[in-house]
Each structure stands twice: as C-alpha cells, then as structure tokens.
Amino acid sequence: MEAYLLKTGRFKREEHIKRPADIQRLFKTGKRVSVYGAKLFYMRNELDFNRIGFPIPRGYGNAVQRNASKRYSRETYRLFKTHLNTGYDILFFVYPGNDTFHSRCEIFKTLCQKAGLLKDCEISL
C-alpha cells in the first residue's frame, strides 16, 4: 500500500482557519512559496498544532468544481499533517487546472518542502 493511503486521522475543527482577519493577516504578512498552479502562505502561530485554510480564487468554475477542489485539498492535508512541523497557520491556494488528487498531493508536497514545513522523513507518493 502506498504511503499516502495510510489512515492518518481526521481533520479536526480547531485545525481550520475560519476568521477573515486571520486569512487576511496570512495573505498580507505571511511568507509565501509558489509552484505553477498553486501558492502556500504560512506563518508561525502560538499553538501546538497547525491551522489551515483553503481559499478558492474568484472565477474557479461552478460550485461543484469549487467543492471538489476543497475536498481534494482537505484530504491532501489530512494525509500529510503527520509529516508537517507543528505551530503554523497555512493557506493552500490552488488555481484552476490542477484538479486530480495525485497532482494536488505532489503540489502540496513540493510547496511544503520549499517552505521547510516537512519533518525530516521520506514521503513517497
């Protein structure tokens, strides 16, 4: 069985970034890394766990496409969260066109490596 298919727990309510002020703070003052089709905004928080949000850009298709994109992103994070350093607020921003689960996992892994958020372990997809 491939590593990303292993069960890693659920995506808890306190791990969501919900307040618009928190999202705006990340966009304005957070560090950012990008690859073709996606950006990752991140900054340290004062917590023992990560919080994450999945903003969707304007014009990202219809409601079905937006919801599918958020589902892919949430599942990607859920599978990677045990491999991430803790204590960060993260926004995972994906542009239209990268809408397969496998490509989403590859993009998230690359962004986390660039940001230095991955623990020193080998993740194979």
Query: Domain ranges in the chain?
Result: 14-115
Percent of the chain with pLDDT over 90: 35
70 near 36, Cβ under 8 Å?
A: no
The pLDDT tens digits for 25-53 are 999 999 999 999 899 999 999 889 899 99
Question: Could you give the CA distance from residue 77 to residue 108 in angstroms, rounded to a whole number?
Answer: 8
Pick the residue with more confidence: 40 or 122? 40
Instruction: Assign a CATH topology to domain 14-115.
Output: Ribosomal Protein S5; domain 2 (3.30.230)
The continuous run of DSSP H or E covering 56 comes out as: none
**Which regions of the chain does DSSP assign to beta strands (E)?**
31-35, 38-44, 51-53, 88-94
Question: Could you give the CA distance from residue 85 to residue 76 in angstroms, rounded to a whole number?
Answer: 16
Average pLDDT for 63-74: 89
4: pLDDT strictly greater than 70: no
Q: Provide the CA 53 distance to its chain's centre, in angstroms.
A: 7
CA angle 11, 26, 23 (to 5 degrees): 60
Buried b (16+ CB within 10 A) or exposed e, 62-85: eeeeeeebbebbbebbbbbbebbe
